[in-house]
Structure 1
Amino acid sequence: MPERTIDFGKYGAQGIKGYEAVARQLDALADFIASPVTTRRGLMARLHYLTRTPHARAAAYDAGLTVTDRTLKAWLEGTRNPTRQNLARIEAAYRTVRRHNVARYLLARLNRTGRGTRVEIHPLNQSGVRPSYQRVVEFRTLNIRHWEAIIDAWSTGDDRALDDAWIEQIVDLGSQWGQYEYVTNIGFAA
């Protein structure tokens, strides 16, 4: 059984870790607000999302948005604008709360009552690798039936746990799973 890649890109291969591609796809499925936080519309949408209920306010506070109610009210009314650091905190809190809120829904959709979801794995890019060093890697598909560990790690933002959960799933590819630790893209839909 192959071990994890230690010196990726040594011969010119390009790609990203598989768990990063999975996180990117899950973020796309989470359907975040499209307007950037730096625009008035994007800021208001995020603030309304984070403050519409007491539960949402508590979750935003836990996620790092620790401003006073007075400051929050001034931002919502438009009399004051958040600093660059506060904009970053608002964005981080919004993404954390949104991931937590959609995690259960995504888990149900991806597990599909035990049927799982088909995942397309696009191999790493070897166009910069000399032919004598190139591997034979091809497009692969994999049906993942248990998304619990992946969704849990993604919703909490734990990259190490997400990497471990992803590796645990691609081991099902057999002895070639090490070739798919780094990929160009991973696709699935919920």
Structure 2
Amino acid sequence: MPERNIEFGKYGARGIKGHEAVARQLDALVGFIVTPVTQRRGLLARLHYLTRTDHARQAAREAGLTVTDRTIKSWLDGKRSPSKKNLHNLETAYRTVRRQNVARYLLARLNREGRGTRVEFHPLNQSQVDRPRQRTVAYRTLNIRHWNRIVEAWANDDEDALDDAWISDAVVDLGSEWGQYEYVTNIGFAA
């Protein structure tokens, strides 16, 4: 079995880690608020999402939003504006809470009652690698049936756990060539 790449890009290959591509794809499936938090509309949308119920407020506090209810009310009323640090904390809390809220639904969608989801592996870009050093890496597809560890690591925003789950639960099923797909240009799946 091949080892993990230590000096990726040494000869000019370009790509990203597979687990990063999966995280991007999962984020795209979630449907975060598009308007930036720095605009009034984006700020209000995030505040309403994080404060509409007591459960949402508690989850926001656990995710790092530590301002008082009075401060949040003044932000909602437009009497005060949050600082850059509070905007960052608000965005982080929003993304964390949104991921945790959507994880169960997304897991059911990806597992599809044991049928799994078809995943496309787009190989790394070797256009800048000298011809004698280029590898033959082809576009591959794989049906992944167990997404539990992958979605859990993504929901907890744990990059190391996501990398381990992605390699051990998905990529190794590509066979002895799995090391060629540790870095990719894109991972695609539609759930």
Q: TM-score range by the shorter chain?
A: over 0.9
Paired position in structure 2 for 1:28: 28
In the alignment, residue 10 of structure 1 is paired with which amino acid? K
CA deviation map 1:96-146 (0-9, x unaligned):
000000000000000000000000010000000000000000100010000
Q: Does residue 1:5 correspond to 2:1, yes or no? A: no
Paired position in structure 1 for 2:164: 164
How large is the Cα RMSD of the aligned pairs? 0.4
Structure-to-structure mapping, 1:1-190, within 5 angstroms: 1-168=1-168, 169-190=170-191
SS in 2 for 1:186: strand
Distance 1:89 1:178 in 2: 37
**Length, aligned pairs only:** 190
* Residue ranges of structure 2 left out of the alignment (5+ in a row): none
Q: TM-score by structure 1 length?
A: 0.99
Distance 1:7 1:73 in 2: 51
Distance 2:42 2:106 in 1: 24
CA deviation map 1:54-100 (0-9, x unaligned):
00000000000000111111001010000111101000000000000
Distance 2:11 2:147 in 1: 34
Q: Identity of aligned pairs, percent?
A: 74
> Where in structure 1 do 4 or more consecutive aligned residues deviate above 4 Å?
none
* Residue ranges of structure 1 left out of the alignment (5+ in a row): none
Distance 1:18 1:148 in 2: 17
Distance 1:106 1:69 in 2: 31
In the alignment, residue 136 of structure 2 is paired with which amino acid? V
Distance 1:140 1:37 in 2: 38
Distance 2:190 2:162 in 1: 18
Distance 2:188 2:163 in 1: 16
Q: TM-score by structure 2 length?
A: 0.99
In the alignment, residue 179 of structure 2 is paired with which amino acid? G
Distance 2:110 2:190 in 1: 8
SS in 2 for 1:110: helix
What's the CA shift for 1:189?
Answer: 1.1
